[in-house]
Amino acid sequence: MTDRYAVIGHPIAHSKSPAIHAAFAAQTAQDLSYEALLAPLDGFAAAVAQFRAQGGRGMNITVPFKEEAFRMANRLTERAKLAQAVNTLSFEDGEIKGDNTDGVGLVRDLEQLGCQLAGARVLLLGAGGAVRGVVAPLLQTGVSRLFIANRTVERAEKLIGDFADFFAYEMPDTLAAGGWQEAADAPYDVVINATSASLSDEAPPLPAGLYAQGSLAYDMVYGRGLTAYLKQARDQGAARLADGLGMLVEQAAEAFALWRGVRPDTAAVRDTLRAALPPLV
Ligand code: NAP
């Protein structure tokens, strides 16, 4: 019997996850279907329960339900606990298992882009759910500095407080937080925009001098060509620019591997999606 999976969110029509998982399934000869489900803002739990009752095997969770999925799961991976957000649910053995594959997706994409993360100085812009998902995986690569800058400074400070408890013993000097201006302390090898400013074609008001020689500017948003942030980064001296399409494909591959026990090849899928998007120039 064909196994059923879905991505659930609000909105959801824009989601590329059905196309990505269909390509993975074809490539690995897995018998599965994968659909996009729109849940009402107050109807996430009911929509998940219905999908499960109909025999659904797993779901990806997108905006704005990742925190609700975290609370719903009755078994969580360590990385989901740290993120306090879940983007992948598996329905197995009568349980709802929650995981978060966003962070590993970002790290894999950065590595494929040629970033040497061990020892790198990284600036992370934003302090929302996406940042929560990527802090621990970035720290675990051995970055030498991870500065989290956010419009609402207290939110960034609260966030690093949560992670400092877990990482304090190993990395006392690595993690710091502040506002845009405080980010000017040091040049960075990698700057990651995880704010949603790009969705309204805005860039965070960043100070000059952030970009080290050979640095990468990365916008988690994808499909919008050169975003306001990437334009700003290019003008401020970033050597290389990337968007979040690779992260999207890599987090999907990690979920697929969890569900199916087989790891798909991401490069061909990413290249096919890329060809249909506006260029990053
Ligand atoms: P979120 O929880 O709503 O957080 C939004 C963040 O953006 C907050 O830090 C907020 O700052 C900041 N922000 C919003 N508007 C801003 C503006 N005009 N100027 C400066 N900062 C602004 O959202 P999220 O879930 O973290 O997602 C963030 C982005 O990452 C979204 O665009 C999402 O599409 C993208 N994303 C991509 C992937 C991928 O696979 N490529 C995965 C996850 C997320 P305040 O705290 O001050 O409000």
Does residue 78 fall inside a structural domain?
yes
Looking at the fold, whether 109 and 221 belong to one and the same domain comes out as: yes
pLDDT, residue 77, reads: 96
As averages over each run of 10 residues, the pLDDT of the chain (281 residues) reads: 96 96 98 98 98 97 95 96 95 96 98 97 95 94 95 95 74 85 92 94 96 98 94 97 98 98 97 92 80
Residue 172 pLDDT: 54
Structure tokens at 77: 């991976």
- Looking up tokens 């990742």 gives 66
Answer yes or no: do 203 and 251 share one domain. no
Cα(195) to centroid(ligand 1), Å:
3
pLDDT of residue 213: 97
Spacing, Cα 11 to ligand 1 middle (Å)? 15
Q: Are 81 and 44 part of one and the same domain? A: yes
Same structural domain for residues 108 and 238? yes
CATH assignment of the domain containing 88: 3.40.50.10860
Does 194 lie in the same domain as 261?
A: no
Does residue 7 lie in a domain region?
A: yes
Asked if 123 and 62 sit in the same domain, the reply is: no
CATH classification of the domain holding 121: 3.40.50.720
Instruction: Return the pLDDT at 167.
Output: 74
Residues 87 and 127 in one domain: no
* Predicted TM-score (pTM) above 0.75: yes
- Tell me whether residue 231 is in a domain: yes
- Are 121 and 211 in the same domain? yes
> Which domain covers residue 161, as residue numbers?
103-243
Q: Ligand 1 atom closest to Cα of 126?
A: 9
Alpha-helical runs (H) found in 113-215: 129-140, 153-167
Pocket of ligand 1 (CB under 6 A): 63, 102, 126-131, 150-152, 155, 194-197, 199, 202, 204, 220-222, 244, 247-248, 251
Residue 170 confidence (pLDDT): 57
Instruction: Count the domains in the chain.
Output: 2
* pLDDT score recorded for residue 70: 97
From the list 41, 42, 46, 33, the residue with the least C-alpha distance to 7 is 33
251 and 221 both lie in a single domain: no
Cα separation, 199 vs 194, in Å, equals: 11
The HSE-up count of residue 42 (CA atoms within 13 Å, CB side) is 0
Spatial CB neighbours of 269, under 8 Å, sequence gap ≥ 6:
20, 23, 24, 27, 249
Q: Are residues 147 and 23 part of one domain?
A: no
Instruction: State residue 162's pLDDT score.
Output: 86
**Are 113 and 159 within one domain?**
yes
Alpha carbon distance 198, 33 (integer Å): 32
Residues 27 and 7 in one domain: yes
> Residue 121: its pLDDT value, please?
97
Q: Catalytic amino acids?
A: 66
